Amino acid sequence: MTDAAAPASETPLIAARGISKSFAGVEVLRDVDLDLKRGEIHALLGENGAGKSTFAKILAGVHRPTRGTVALNGQPVDISSPIVAQKLGITLIHQEPISFPDLSVAENLVLGRTGGSPLGRVPWTEMTREARRLMDLLGVKMDVTKPMRGLSIADQQMVEIARALASDSRLIIMDEPTAPLTPKEVDTLFTIARRLRDEGRTIVFISHRLEEVRMLCDRVTIFRDGNKIATDTIGNLTDADIIRLMIGRPLREYLHKTRAAIGDVALKVDNLTSPGLFSDISFEVRKGEIVGLGGLVGAGRTDVARALFGVVPAASGTVAIDGKTVSIRQPSQAIDLGLAYVSEDRAVSGIFRTLSVEENITAAVPSQIAPGGVIRRAIEKALASESVRKLRIRLASLRQPIGELSGGNQQKAILARWLLTDPSVLILDEPTRGIDIGVKAEFYEMIGELAASGRAILLISSELPELLALCDRVLVMSEGRLTANIPRADATQESIMHAAVPRTRVAA
């Protein structure tokens, strides 16, 4: 395989020609030609909806192209299903980790591996041993006999990656694998990705984070609106080039916050504790202030937000809103007190997928749309269309199921829902995860405007540039405790990371 003299090494591993794909008459991919070489890490970049994920799914047999051919090692192949892809040595690690939550980690790793009779014995002992070996390889400590349910997203992702290693794939496609990982886990992943590349495997890496792409990848291909715009060695392109190619226009400086006048304390939290999740959390957020809450995934930030909003009330500690001590035991009380919470995982706890955009937007204000218990369609429509206009939500119709919108527009609709409740305190939990650079910029503007209008904002984010650019102050959590309260002037990537990394790991 590494024999340089063999002409085969010049044949690309994958040669895709004229790949097009339409869904219900809408062309999402147009005549894409792309070669993937053996032993390279190849980035696919583009805004959401640019076609990079669709292209990846075609290679993985999830979708079949409407037109075009794929050759593997020079031989035309028909990747008609994920099973065929697997047999050909192609693994796709999905953006949303897919797993079987009721089965053990070990089973999730080996399931679907081909071969053996259907009534063949499941080799539990060997399976568990193999799973342990794979997780050790990734440097992840977990009990592989436990069910997947209850693992963090980061751990689930690790299992996905281990699964690709398990099936010894020649082409591993990672669709935004690093988004939920801690820096240490990202390092581990990159080390492993490089090792796999050096073994002659090909990695396709889809990410929104340019610095990661630069750190890891050899070549990059940029997609826009279903077209392949460019393929080049990463060294030949500057960040500005890449962004310009991705969005088709230069991006103006979006990370600039208009400072709002900071007023009285809107939210005051004292010694909030929830055993096993977080302890002794004390902080305040003033009107017009944007307070960031940084830390690693699993540090307990979301748990604090959920406690404040009454989803899982804290065991002890006090919360005061506008100077009055309140007891919030369930979300409806939180809403009445002027709190709003845009949750981290919109697919699970944010949207009503099959309901219309309109119904989703007005879901938190039943008394406004249904005075006396009967829904007035006219009011509902007026409120929703006003929101759509204000937040520039792109959609076909207000009656469209929200699940059909892009991630960024879904997120806007959820923000719109909470703005209708006219909240005085807004908790945003990873509001820009997985949304395009263009929509992100709009979000940043909106967050700035909301603060300027006198609302107190608690912004949970794992993206350091986001915290640095938007926040007046950055709180940092680590392993359930508040480890830093850094004013804007002193906040740097280093100071936040220093506080975010658990002590034991600093020592290591």
Q: What is the DSSP string of 325-368?
A: EE---SHHHHHHTTEEEE-S-IIIII--TTSBHHHHHTTT-HHH
Instruction: Work out whether 142 is an interface residue with another protein (CB under 8 A).
Output: no
Q: Which of 5, 25, 26, 121 binds another protein (CB under 8 A)?
A: 121
Nearer to another protein, 124 or 352 (CB): 124
Instruction: Work out whether 248 is an interface residue with another protein (CB under 8 A).
Output: no
Which phi and psi (to 5°) does residue 502 adopt? -55, 145
Residues with Cβ < 8 Å from 6, sequence gap 6 or more? none
Please name the residue that has the structure tokens 């065991």.
315
Rounded alpha-carbon distances, angstroms, from residue 269 to 62, 272, 284: 48, 7, 6
Smallest separation, CB 186 to another protein (Å): 20
Structure tokens at 269: 């939290």
Q: Which of 101, 366, 371, 465 binds another protein (CB under 8 A)?
A: 101
Instruction: Work out whether 258 is an interface residue with another protein (CB under 8 A).
Output: no
Sole window of 91-99, 174-182, 322-330, 424-432 interacting with another protein (rule: CB under 8 A): 91-99
Sole window of 29-37, 95-103, 259-267, 315-323 interacting with another protein (rule: CB under 8 A): 95-103
Instruction: Work out whether 215 is an interface residue with another protein (CB under 8 A).
Output: no
Smallest separation, CB 502 to another protein (Å): 10
Pairwise CA distance, residues 159 & 154, whole Å = 9
Sole window of 17-25, 120-128, 182-190, 373-381 interacting with another protein (rule: CB under 8 A): 120-128
Pairwise CA distance, residues 290 & 450, whole Å = 9
Instruction: Work out whether 180 is an interface residue with another protein (CB under 8 A).
Output: no
Instruction: Work out whether 311 is an interface residue with another protein (CB under 8 A).
Output: no
Nearer to another protein, 83 or 215 (CB): 83
Instruction: Work out whether 83 is an interface residue with another protein (CB under 8 A).
Output: yes
Instruction: Work out whether 352 is an interface residue with another protein (CB under 8 A).
Output: no
Q: Is residue 481 helix, strand or coil?
A: strand
Q: Which of 39, 49, 82, 139 binds another protein (CB under 8 A)?
A: 82
Residues forming beta bridges with residue 295, ordered by sequence position:
477
Terminal CA-CA length for the chain: 38
Binding mask 460-499 for another protein (x = CB under 8 A): -------------------xx-------------------
Nearer to another protein, 123 or 371 (CB): 123
Q: Which of 64, 67, 113, 377 binds another protein (CB under 8 A)?
A: 113
Pairwise CA distance, residues 352 & 247, whole Å = 30
# residues near another protein by CB under 8 A:
32
Pairwise CA distance, residues 476 & 303, whole Å = 14
Which phi and psi (to 5°) does residue 311 adopt? -70, -50
Nearer to another protein, 172 or 222 (CB): 172
Pairwise CA distance, residues 476 & 480, whole Å = 10
Sole window of 183-191, 272-280, 323-331, 356-364 interacting with another protein (rule: CB under 8 A): 272-280
Residues with Cβ < 8 Å from 412, sequence gap 6 or more? 391, 392, 393, 439, 442, 443
Q: Which of 25, 150, 372, 373 binds another protein (CB under 8 A)?
A: 150
Instruction: Work out whether 102 is an interface residue with another protein (CB under 8 A).
Output: yes
Q: Based on the number of CB atoms within 10 Å of its own CB, is 216 exposed (0-12), middle (13-18) or buried (19 or more)?
A: buried
Structure tokens at 304: 């604090």
Residue 292: which of 121, 260, 283 has the closest Cα?
283
**Applying CB under 8 A, which residues contact another protein?**
62, 81-83, 86, 94, 98-103, 107, 111-114, 116-122, 124, 150, 275-277, 298, 479-480
